[in-house]
Structure 1
Amino acid sequence: MRVANLSFRYGRRDPWVLSGVELNLGGGDVVEITGINGTGKSTLLRLLAGLLRPVRGVIEDRPAVVGYAPERFPVGQPFTVAAYLGHMAAVRRVDPRSAGEWAERLGIDHLLGRRLHDLSKGSAHKVGLAQALLCRPGLLVLDEPFAGLDAATRAELPRVIGEVAAGGGIVVVSDHQGDLRALPARRRHEVSDGTVREVPVAEEHPDDLSGAAEPDTVLEVRVAASKAVDLAERLRAEGHHVRTIRTAAGR
């Protein structure tokens, strides 16, 4: 897959988000996209997935089957998890049983009867990952896939990514969480000032690769009782330890 002289902006008078991007991606590549917020990482991912069209330049030889999982899964849809994944399996023309298989592997099989808009952020994110993986993609594009995941799924996802790459697929991932370190063969590209450059993985700061456990910090958060259950669920989904203490009214 080749990206040549790619430039993009959202409106004719808007500033260029990306300019003159050159990329060559081959089967089996795992490409990590890095950069600070607002530099155009998500825009680049949508361009690679075919959801946006370049204003200038070309993207050639994109694999025929593309799986894309956005950073925020759109839950405002009138489906249960099972109905949504079944619908996506039909659209992708894949065996509907694959929906259940991915739901089980990503830990949402117990939520198949739940409506999308009732899901926590972490569970909705897993649904987004499942629909991207249903079709055995030749190109898998994941925007912050580790955000909000529980520890078990965070550990499973690098294995899934490795399997797609081992099967000859291209995987492109933006990852603030650092969970791709489990895949030493990955490539790394940094988005900055509208350009994209490859950064040798060896240039990463030694502290980022040490694997040393970061010390915990205990935060005290007071929240209305009506919101406590949902907040606790979301924090646990992100891998935090949560202890709920009920206080007397007015304290």
Structure 2
Amino acid sequence: MWLEDVGLRYHRRGPWVLRQVTVGVAPGEAVVVLGRNGAGKSTLLQLLAGVLRPSRGRVLDRPSVVGWVPERFPADQPFTVDGYLVSMARVAGLSPSEADRTVRHWVDRLGLGPFRTVRLAQLSKGTAQKVGLAQALLRPPGLLVLDEPWEGLDAVARELVPQVVDEVLADGGSVLVSDHRGETVRLPGAREWRVADGAVVERASSDAAAVAVVELEVPVGQLPATVARLRAEGHHVLRVRGQSAPPETTCPAVEPPFEVAR
């Protein structure tokens, strides 16, 4: 699918969030969307998913089945997990038996079994995100759009996201993912789009091929010096994790802590 000379602003006289964007993603391709907070990543993903309509330009060849997972699942709804997912499956065109079977599959796979009768509004953010992921996969999507899909997920579910992406790609679907946690290192081979100043620029594949990601574990007392040395040598520190990392060692847009991932 393609965005052709697309621009978007939220109000008629408002500023342009995106301008003259022309990008495309082919079947079987994954794209990681990067950029600072407020740069327009979510806007771009919503345009691609069909949640927003462009103010200018065209969206071409969007697949008929789109799975969309927003950054924060809208859990303020009067449904149980089971009731919501079965209803969404029926809206997606599944028969009653298909809906029950598909919902059961994703509930089991995402560890939602204990929450089937819990109302959405009572779920934690991470559990609500799992419900959002499940509803996006009730029918095999030709396009799967994930806005910060790892946010709030437990370790098991975080490992599941790349598996789901691989399955969609293997079926000939396309996947777009935004991420500020550095989790997209789990998607080797994905293209990269960077959003800044209303434009979308693709990172050259030759640059991506030259990058390796390494995780390091260092003693607490050596952490500041280690991070400083890595940066001085030109390495990009994606995040620092741990229990008591000093403030000067944390990276922008990353949770404090250590075990340095580069």
Q: What is the number of equivalent residue pairs in this alignment?
A: 221
Distance, in Å, in 2 between the alignment partners of 1:161 and 1:209 is 19
Residues 208 and 111 of structure 1, relative CA distance in 2, 3 Å threshold = farther
Instruction: Say whether 1:120 aligns with 2:112.
Output: no
Contact 1:41 1:191 in 2 (8 A): yes
2:87: which partner in 1?
87
Give per-residue Cα distances to partners, 1:9-44, cap 9 Å, x unaligned: 001110000000011210001000000000111011
2:22: which partner in 1?
22
Distance, in Å, in 2 between the alignment partners of 1:61 and 1:119 is 36
Structure 1 residue 177, shift from structure 2 partner: 2.1
Contact 1:32 1:175 in 2 (8 A): yes
Of 97, 106, 110, the match for 2:110? 106
Distance, in Å, in 1 between the alignment partners of 2:175 and 2:211 is 26
Identify the structure with bigger relative contact order (alpha carbons < 8 Å, sequence gap 6+).
Answer: 1
SS in structure 1 at match of 2:216: coil
Structure 1 residue 126, shift from structure 2 partner: 0.6
Q: Which runs of 5+ in 1 are unaligned?
A: 220-237, 241-251
Q: Which runs of 5+ in 2 are unaligned?
A: 218-239, 246-254, 258-262
1:46: which partner in 2?
46
1:37: which partner in 2?
37
Contact 1:9 1:16 in 2 (8 A): yes
Residues 156 and 78 of structure 1, relative CA distance in 2, 3 Å threshold = same
Residues 114 and 71 of structure 1, relative CA distance in 2, 3 Å threshold = same
Contact 1:5 1:58 in 2 (8 A): yes
Instruction: Say whether 1:13 aligns with 2:13.
Output: yes
RMSD, matched Cα: 2.1
Distance, in Å, in 2 between the alignment partners of 1:177 and 1:112 is 29
Residues 215 and 176 of structure 1, relative CA distance in 2, 3 Å threshold = closer
Structure 1 segments of 4+ aligned residues over 6 angstroms from their partners: none
Residues 118 and 15 of structure 1, relative CA distance in 2, 3 Å threshold = same
Residues 217 and 202 of structure 1, relative CA distance in 2, 3 Å threshold = farther
Give per-residue Cα distances to partners, 1:152-208, cap 9 Å, x unaligned: 01011101101101110010110112222222221000000000000136646x997
Percent of residue pairs bearing the same amino acid type: 49
Q: Quick check: 23-32 or 209-218, which moved more? A: 209-218
Structure 1 residue 135, shift from structure 2 partner: 1.2
Structure 1 residue 128, shift from structure 2 partner: 0.5
Distance, in Å, in 1 between the alignment partners of 2:44 and 2:74 is 19
1:139: which partner in 2?
143
Distance, in Å, in 2 between the alignment partners of 1:67 and 1:215 is 31
Instruction: Say whether 1:184 aligns with 2:195.
Output: no
Of 226, 236, 242, the match for 1:216? 242
- The letter for the 2-side match of 1:9 is R
SS in structure 1 at match of 2:31: strand
